[in-house]
């Protein structure tokens, strides 16, 4: 049977959910092509705020990874923006040159953030909060600037503000209304939320109408119509979204606020459907994930030829964790005419509940702090059954004369058809079945089986409670997590087994130790490659194919597909002839940008991949390892060589350290710095190993980090001579190499094991000498990789193409 061609424009949550359903219902009916404007697989946009706040890694919010598309034979054009639909000949065209024919077309273009048309809104530092790139911009900004303003006191704005606080910025939230989240909360709950967020460090500017943005190239201040203003280095607009309908509109598809669809998600053009935030159904364009998933399920049935009554619209609820505070709201909670409401408030415990009743039926609710009864109340709203005589019980969570009901009892009393996870439509019964019949005894395993808690995460406490209720003593005993999902073995177990069994290659380790995925993944392969090289420096042959693209090419892939090249400049000291050579090569290869880095080096940005070998050959300079897990830089000040305050030769010390340890592989990147006096101009006290000159000696500092999670160093010891500095540096770095986990910075490692532990390990000279001898052995086996790259064999070995997914993940 010839498959029909299905094309989807958009790679977001709603559209891909429809494809998931369709594959289950009719796995062989369609040949599927998806166009996604972002260079990522399908990910959970709702969890971006958690990524920003440091609670989740970017990799953890991927819903369907690259392998899922391959396994389901889906052609994915990632990073392709569709700019034209030919509805007559049934073809779509992307700006990047891809063309696809279709029998059925799904438009799932989502929505765009609404940007206030303020004078100055085009300045650098004015962004939205909508995708991964916005998150990356906020992180980068926080590393250079301190003040941020978020315009919008709704859910998205508050989550953005919380994330910026986590990044160390001073955050002010500007809101047009007199209280926060007016669409989800009443004034009482909103004031309680504001007080909680103020204790976290947020500042609120309420009843403020933004007028203009000032600054030269970059934003410097936000001005209001009342004449006041606030200084800022970053403005995040989180004032709402608007359906992305421009492509549909230009293609002759009927639009209003959104793309107009019927109950089967059909547009006015035959064979063209719309789903998600871009669609408008019965005059409503939904922005919550649960209705969009309901639309996707209906569309999948329709395309699969399965009988369906169609989509009739959704009754929506909001159950969220706003910056650590549980919030629930549903229905008409703002005391509409002809209703009566009941409230319960406990300022000590931070709990507020309100229910709104019309003609003995529950029509609205707000809950703050304790949202455990949210699903039950929402179910009553949808059913429309009478609650006469039960109002107090529903408000309090227990019958007034029956005593307090525990959370466990509340969960047990919930009907099996109660929806626990509104985003994914998962009932209590489905979760119960997963726990009792499929041995899902953790939240993670329940999520994997049912998708409950897999979207916004607001229902996670309820899922945890059900796991405790039905799994009993077995609850909370998840399958032991190892260094990655391919194995349950941890770092120390793997190293012990490699040593005991004498395993010599990455493949051998995975085979002998029973990897679940025999090919490994982008997390375990590089770590095993490092552990083997650390354990057997004399005999182990580094597996270039187990390194990330950036490390193999000694160049960092950029978002436009070009590369960044950073040659090593020892201690930040160069010469006119070296600078001249770099400039001539930059001109020869048409390098778009040459930048001085924060590590006192020169970065050649925008290099084509095919030019990398010749560029390294003509530079004839060591690689700066700017993107590898290795010694990156040794930053120096001019010290006593020139500075009138300098007490020691910091330049000489820095160059010596860099030449001593260059090319050394480490668990994570390592940065050093040497300051010539306590004024610390080289910022040595936020480096992995920092050296500060004092009268008659050197202070040695360890465990610093100047990145997203800033950490000041701790004083390891004070020494008198340069030879002692090198000895202690070598001993410290080697002890870190032998004991830290893969991808664990020294700052995290020091916090985990404690400085006293490290001091004790290094206090005896014979121990330091032994460690230094082992690091010298490892260094003696390292080759000049930039010369490998430029050789013919190096080209074949190092330039093995890997999936684009790796570069994106990296």
For 595-629, how does the pLDDT look when each residue is reduced to its tens digit (9 = 90+)? 888 888 899 998 888 888 889 889 989 888 887 88
Let me know: does 344 contact 351? Beta carbons within 8 Å. yes
| Mean pLDDT across 466-489 | 72
Quick one: pLDDT band at residue 810, thresholds 50, 70, 90?
very low
**β-bridge mates for residue 455, sequence order:** none
pLDDT > 50? residue 408: yes
What is the per-residue pLDDT across 701-758, written as a single tens digit (0 to 9) for each? 999 998 767 899 999 999 999 999 999 999 999 999 999 998 899 999 998 899 999 9
pLDDT > 80? residue 422: no
Q: What is the mean pLDDT of the chain?
A: 87
pLDDT of residue 124: 95
C-alpha closest to that of 565 among 526, 522, 529, 614: 614
Quick one: pLDDT band at residue 458, thresholds 50, 70, 90?
low
What is the per-residue pLDDT across 538-590, written as a single tens digit (0 to 9) for each? 889 888 777 776 777 788 777 666 888 889 898 888 999 999 999 999 999 99
**β-bridge mates for residue 241, sequence order:** 113
In angstroms, the CA 87 to CA 773 distance is 71
- Annotated binding residue 681: yes
Model pTM above 0.75: no
pLDDT of residue 805: 32
In angstroms, the CA 661 to CA 656 distance is 9
- Annotated binding residue 637: yes
Q: Render 717-736 in DSSP notation, one character per residue.
A: EEESSHHHHHHHHHHHHHHH
| CA 318 centroid distance within chain | 23
What is the per-residue pLDDT across 470-480, written as a single tens digit (0 to 9) for each? 887 766 544 45
Q: Is 314 helix (H, G, I), strand (E, B) or coil?
A: coil
pLDDT of residue 769: 95
**β-bridge mates for residue 602, sequence order:** 596
Let me know: does 651 contact 638? Beta carbons within 8 Å. yes
What is the per-residue pLDDT across 69-120, written as a single tens digit (0 to 9) for each? 999 999 999 999 999 999 999 999 999 999 999 999 999 999 999 999 999 9
pLDDT > 60? residue 806: no
Quick one: pLDDT band at residue 809, thresholds 50, 70, 90?
very low
pLDDT > 70? residue 423: no
pLDDT > 50? residue 418: yes
Helices (H), 589-698: 612-619, 650-661
The β-bridge relationship of strands 75-78 and 30-36 is: parallel
C-alpha closest to that of 296 among 272, 268, 265: 265
Angle at 548 between CA 543 and CA 550, to 5 degrees: 120
pLDDT of residue 804: 35
Tell me the domains of the chain and their CATH numbers: 4-111+243-304 (3.50.50.60), 126-239 (3.50.50.60), 491-546 (no CATH), 628-783 (3.30.413.10)
Quick one: pLDDT band at residue 485, thresholds 50, 70, 90?
low
Quick one: pLDDT band at residue 404, thresholds 50, 70, 90?
low
What is the per-residue pLDDT across 61-72, written as a single tens digit (0 to 9) for each? 888 889 899 999
- Annotated binding residue 135: no
| Mean pLDDT across 527-547 | 87
What is the per-residue pLDDT across 665-688, written as a single tens digit (0 to 9) for each? 999 999 999 999 999 999 999 999
Let me know: does 161 contact 184? Beta carbons within 8 Å. no
Residue 721 CB partners (closer than 8 Å, separation 6+):
none
| Mean pLDDT across 340-357 | 90
Cα separations (Å) of 737 from 344, 394, 527, 530, 677? 57, 58, 12, 9, 29
In angstroms, the CA 339 to CA 363 distance is 9
Name the token pair of 261.
């669809």
C-alpha closest to that of 700 among 682, 712, 718: 718
pLDDT > 50? residue 240: yes
**Higher per-residue confidence, 2 vs 457:** 2
Strands in 556-557's sheet, in edge-to-edge order, are: 556-557, 563-565, 602-607, 593-596
Task: Give the H/E segment covering residue 740.
Answer: none
Strands (E), 14-115: 30-36, 42-43, 62-64, 75-78, 82-86, 91-94, 99-101, 104-107, 111-113
pLDDT > 80? residue 136: yes
- Annotated binding residue 643: yes
Quick one: pLDDT band at residue 379, thresholds 50, 70, 90?
confident
């Amino acid at each position: 049977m010839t498959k029909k061609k299905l094309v989807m424009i958009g790679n977001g949550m709603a559209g891909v959910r429809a494809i998931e359903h369709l594959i289950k219902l009719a796995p062989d009916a369609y040949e599927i092509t998806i166009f996604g404007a972002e260079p990522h697989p399908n990910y959970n946009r709702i969890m971006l705020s958690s990524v920003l706040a440091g609670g989740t890694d970017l990799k953890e919010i991927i819903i369907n990874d690259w392998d899922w598309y391959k396994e389901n034979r889906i052609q994915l054009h990632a990073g392709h923006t569709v700019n034209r639909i030919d509805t007559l000949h049934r073809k779509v065209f992307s700006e990047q040159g891809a063309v696809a024919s279709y029998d059925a077309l799904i438009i799932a273009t989502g929505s765009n953030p609404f940007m206030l048309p303020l004078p100055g809104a085009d300045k650098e530092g004015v962004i939205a909060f909508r995708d991964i790139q916005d998150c990356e911009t906020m992180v980068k900004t926080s590393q250079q600037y301190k003040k941020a303003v978020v315009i919008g006191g709704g859910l998205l704005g508050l989550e953005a503000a919380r994330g910026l606080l986590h990044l160390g910025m001073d955050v002010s939230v500007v809101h047009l209304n007199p209280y926060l989240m007016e669409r989800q909360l009443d004034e009482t709950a909103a004031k309680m939320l504001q007080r909680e967020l103020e204790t976290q460090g947020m500042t609120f500017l309420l009843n403020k109408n933004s007028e203009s943005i000032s600054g030269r190239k970059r934003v410097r201040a936000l001005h209001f119509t009342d004449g006041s203003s606030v200084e800022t280095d970053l403005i995040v607009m989180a004032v709402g979204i608007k359906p992305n309908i421009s492509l549909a509109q230009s293609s002759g598809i009927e639009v209003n606020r959104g793309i107009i669809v019927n109950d089967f998600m059909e547009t006015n053009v035959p064979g063209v459907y719309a789903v998600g935030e871009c669609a408008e159904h019965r005059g409503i364009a939904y922005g919550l994930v649960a209705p969009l998933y309901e639309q996707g399920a209906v569309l999948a049935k329709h395309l699969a030829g399965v009988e369906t009554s169609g989509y009739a619209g959704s009754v929506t609820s909001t159950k969220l964790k706003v910056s650590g505070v549980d919030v629930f709201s549903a229905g008409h909670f703002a005391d509409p005419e002809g209703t009566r409401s009941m409230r319960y408030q406990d300022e000590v415990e931070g709990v507020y509940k309100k229910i709104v009743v019309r003609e003995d039926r529950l029509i609205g609710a707000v809950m703050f702090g304790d949202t455990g009864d949210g699903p039950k109340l929402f179910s009553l709203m949808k059913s429309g059954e009478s609650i006469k005589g039960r109002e107090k019980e529903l408000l309090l969570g227990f019958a007034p004369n029956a005593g307090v009901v525990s959370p466990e009892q509340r969960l047990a009393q919930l009907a099996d058809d109660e929806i626990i996870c509104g985003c994914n439509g998962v009932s209590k019964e489905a979760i119960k079945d997963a726990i009792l019949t499929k041995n899902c005894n953790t939240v993670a395993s329940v999520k994997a089986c049912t998708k409950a808690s897999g979207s916004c995460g607001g229902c996670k406490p309820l899922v945890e409670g059900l796991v405790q209720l039905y799994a009993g003593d077995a609850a909370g005993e998840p399958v032991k997590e190892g260094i990655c999902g391919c194995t349950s073995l941890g770092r120390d177990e793997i190293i012990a087994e490699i040593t005991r069994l004498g395993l010599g290659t990455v493949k051998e380790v995975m085979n002998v130790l029973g990897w679940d995925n025999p090919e490994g993944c982008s997390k375990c392969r590089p770590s095993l490659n490092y552990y083997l090289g650390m354990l057997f420096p004399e005999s182990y042959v580094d597996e270039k194919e187990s390194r990330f693209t950036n490390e193999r090419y000694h160049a960092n892939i950029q978002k436009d597909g070009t590369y960044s090249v950073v040659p090593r400049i020892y201690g930040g000291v160069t010469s006119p002839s070296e600078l001249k050579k770099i400039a001539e090569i930059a001109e020869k290869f048409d390098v778009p940008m040459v930048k001085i880095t924060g590590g006192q080096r020169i970065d050649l940005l925008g290099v084509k991949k095919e030019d990398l070998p010749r560029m390294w050959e003509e530079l004839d300079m060591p690689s700066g390892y700017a993107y590898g897990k290795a010694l990156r830089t040794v930053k120096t000040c001019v010290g006593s060589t020139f500075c009138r305050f300098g007490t020691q030769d910091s330049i000489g010390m820095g160059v010596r350290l860099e030449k001593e340890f260059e090319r050394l592989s480490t668990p994570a990147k390592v940065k050093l710095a040497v300051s010539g006096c306590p004024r610390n101009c080289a910022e040595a006290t936020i480096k992995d190993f920092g050296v500060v000159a004092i009268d008659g000696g050197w202070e040695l500092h360890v465990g610093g980090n100047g990145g997203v999670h800033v950490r000041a160093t701790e004083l390891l010891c004070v020494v008198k001579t340069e030879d002692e500095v090198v000895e202690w540096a070598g001993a410290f770095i080697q002890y870190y190499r032998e004991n830290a986990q893969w991808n664990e910075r020294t700052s995290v490692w020091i916090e985990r094991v404690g400085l006293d532990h490290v001091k004790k390990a290094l206090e005896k000279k014979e121990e330091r000498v032994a460690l230094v001898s082992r690091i010298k052995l490892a260094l003696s086996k390292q080759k000049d990789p930039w010369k490998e790259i430029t050789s013919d064999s190096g080209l074949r070995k190092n330039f093995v193409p890997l999936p684009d997914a790796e570069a994106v993940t990296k």
